[in-house]
Amino acid sequence: MGSLLRGEEYIWSFRNVEKEPVVVLVTGAAGQIGYALVPMIARGAMLGPDQPVILHMLDIEPAAESLKGVKMELIDAAFPLLKGVVATSDPVEACKGVNIAVMVGGFPRKEGMERKDVMLKNIAIYKAHASALEQHSAPNCKVLVVANPANTNALILKEFAPSIPEKNVTCLTRLDHNRALGQISEKLFVHVGDVKNVIIWGNHSSTQYPDVNHATVSTCDGDKPVREVTADDKWLNKEFITTVQQRGAAIIKARKLSSALSAASSACDHIRDWVLGTPKGTWVSMGVYSDGSYGIPSGLIYSFPVTCEKGEWSIVQGLKIDGFSRGKMDATAKELIEEKELAYSCLS
């Protein structure tokens, strides 16, 4: 009996061997989004309830004291999954051994600034970050760019970190995706979990195209098309689209601060689905490197519908695109081409 119990204890112990910690970098970690994001990562919202993490937090030197305070709070919270914390203003130290990089830090556009001025500031930031990741991150490091202009910042990072595979550099449009799900659920008086397969096409900007033509809602009679259940094409083609496009501005007007909690939560959603996989029959929106799918020029970081499996994303193929959608998709691609040209002119 004793030997049997010892055998059971051995099997139980074997099954519960702790995973190796994943090293997660958050830049701009002393800011609003960073402050909301790091406890979510430490609690398991990003990588799951059984995945230990080591947090590397990076911010600029003037924010060093604030960053120190964030580290103190993480220690005080005693998160069981948190196996270590690094707080630094040195990009090299921050990027050492990083498996996942969430790039929240960037230079925001201020009143009176031209787009080129903002682009120049962000190019300098993302060149430095790209160089540090290129030289010091772990193999197969996955990168999510959150800071605006997110698509173009991701493109700059990709250009200056050529050893990081292009499929490993993405930007956040999951926030817009989740906003679209939320608007549909509110309109139909259903739980947000009952709505799936909206799409955000294009840029994380006011030209993005929130598309419900392939979205469904779960009803007592099974999944039904959102357009059919809503029965309000005027709302779906106008108010719904502009509400999602301008939601960030509406939150700034209400809070006097930009989106932080929702952005942090969406960043966790993005990485979690990328690493752990999307549910069967469900896709999500990610800003990824275009391969020419749906007639979108290659060489842009553009938001597409994707499914994820075994740590890899794939663009959903074969979706029917009507004339209305085509125009919206091309308009946001045009803006991204203009941003890319502006970025390259700044580089030269």
pLDDT at 204 over 80: yes
The C-alpha angle with vertex 34 and arms to 31 and 40, in degrees rounded to 5, equals: 150
Q: Of residues 324 and 15, which shows the higher confidence score?
A: 324
CB 200 within 8 A of CB 176: yes
The C-alpha angle with vertex 47 and arms to 41 and 53, in degrees rounded to 5, equals: 60
Condensed to tens digits (0 to 9), the pLDDT of residues 42-51 reads: 999 999 999 9
Q: Residue 84 CB: number of other CB atoms within 10 A?
A: 11
Question: 16-20, 218-222, 333-337: which has the minimum mean pLDDT?
Answer: 16-20
Q: Would you name the residues annotated as active-site residues?
A: 204
Condensed to tens digits (0 to 9), the pLDDT of residues 113-124 reads: 776 788 888 999
The rounded distance, in Å, linking the Cα atoms of 266 and 315 is 19
* 238-255 as b/e: b if 16+ CB within 10 A: eebbebbbebbeebeeee
What is the pTM (predicted TM-score) of this model?
A: 0.93
